[in-house]
Amino acid sequence: MGAPIVYLIGAGPGDPGLMTVKGLECLAKAEVVVYDYLANPRFLSAADPDAELIYVGKKGFSTHVTQDEINAILVEKALEDGGKIVARLKGGDPFIFGRGGEEALALYDNDIPFEVVPGISSGYAAPAYAGIPVTHRGITTDMAFVTGHEDPTKETTDVNWEHLATAVGTICFFMGIKNLPVITERLITFGRSPETPVALVRWGTTPRQETLTGTLADIAEKAAAAKFKAPAITIVGEVVNLREQLAWFENKPLFGKTAIVTRSRAQASDLSERFVELGAEVLEFPTIKITDPEEWGPVDEAIGNLAVYDWVVFTSVNGVDQFFDRMEEMDADARQFAGCRVAAIGPATAARCMSHGIRPDYVPDEYVAEGVLEGFGERGVGEGTRFLIPRAAEAREVLPDTLRERGAVVDVVTVYRTVLGAGEQSVLTRLAEGTVDVITFTSSSTVKNFMKLTEGTDIAATMDSALIASIGPITSDTARDLGLTVGVEAEEYTIPGLVDAVVANIAASGAE
């Protein structure tokens, strides 16, 4: 039993990087998370895994939970079991057309403590991502935020159109797409020039961002022709003209592209973040899950006898993490490696070794077994050299078998298994819709499991049109064996190399 408190958190306009540090901290300690339609679902990964998640989807112009019902949920959950920590996650800022004030008053009326965590508002963030500063010296020094979600049939309006039309240089309308014809007509009627530039920014700050420009005279007609829909911000003013020079987000190399990342959820972040930084929408589809070996006995024995080995070879980041985690369980640490040398296949594996206090003695220039063997030969590996290779249960035998052929004594221990992941139904839907541009594979197991998880799903159109991107030749061979057409293969068999290959391919395709 604890003291009740509700955090009214502004989650920002959509880009997960625009969530405040305090917002994430409050979200992480919440026992209940009440979230709405415009809050990026990726934020939910920052919540406690045991937290109760309650969706109160407030999507414009469709059936949704009423505000009174949301208020009641916040009160009920805050008082539940003697008091709970509740995070109310809202798109944008809770006090800028977020109805956070109404929720705060409901909590006040019920003597429930609350805190407001302001968020970055889409009113200025969406224009900024579209290359439109809402104020600019020499153009305008004032602006207004206005709701565009008024009922055009009601007899009175809460907006003072007569003064608004000409009082400020920039006007940002929230939720105004449905009423766009009324908005433009009223602004013109009360003195704003029909030639005033206007921009509509949909899904601002996200890879789905769309921008449509025009004037007060024609933007409503253009929006109707383009079937432009909510959620969007409408920006009225001369600052819109700066977009031609200042548009930056939509010029990113992968903007507008959708990429599927098939790595395990624990591994996906690096690849996902690189794609997001380049403007892509990322769909995570974890085809594999990393689990412990069926038994730790052989690993425990190897850790206890590290001194007898000349080399320990780590072939993956997972292998490093699992091995060192097990060492910690046995109250051992990096000092166990004092008598042996360490090889790490790939820069990411080497970096993970260093994070555990071990600087590898050998990081091969090539990241497949065949290339690694040449380097060992140059380092005097031969008859009687003792190797320990902690790795996955299922792995290629080229490296250990060839070392044995050269007279080495090789012990292979399983430190993790890769099992079939769960995938995501929403991603299967996108695959069936044909709205995916890139599918990435970082290992043979990701290819095999992707094919298993998509069995019975009609994804033929996507597989014919999407770019299949492979991290290296072994993965590519597996993909081809399973009937896939590999469109691009990384020259350097790393995550950065894979991303570089995708960017180069798409740039070349765009230039054709």
Task: Kindly state the greatest CA–CA separation across the chain.
Answer: 94
d(CA 214, CA 198): 5
3-class SS at 100? Answer: helix
CA-to-CA separations, 300 to 165, 339, 388, 395, 487, in angstroms, rounded: 75, 18, 12, 20, 43
d(CA 79, CA 396): 56
Taking a C-beta distance cutoff of 8 angstroms, is the pair 239, 140 a contact? yes
Which amino acid would we find at residue 371?
G
Task: Say how far apart CA 245 and CA 264 lie, in whole Å.
Answer: 40
Catalytic residues: 36, 58, 175
User: Distances from the Cα of 261 to the Cαs of 236, 286, 291, 449, in angstroms?
Assistant: 39, 7, 19, 13
Tell me which residue has tokens 């590999």: 486
Neighbouring CB atoms inside 10 A of 113's CB total: 13
Tokens of 497: 């190399």
Residue with tokens 């609350």: 114
The token duo for 351 is 């970096």
- The alpha carbon dihedral of 438, 442, 443, 445 has a sign of negative
| Region class of 407: left (phi > 0), else alpha (psi between -120 and 50), else beta | left
- Per-residue HEC secondary structure of 74-90 comes to HHHHHHHHHCCEEEEEE
**If you write DSSP's letter for every residue of 351-418 in order, what string do you get?**
HHHHHTT---SB--SS-SHHHHHHHHHHTT--TT-EEEEEEESS--SHHHHHHHHTT-EEEEEEEEEE
Measured at the CA of 98, the angle between CA 62 and CA 284, to 5 degrees, comes to 70
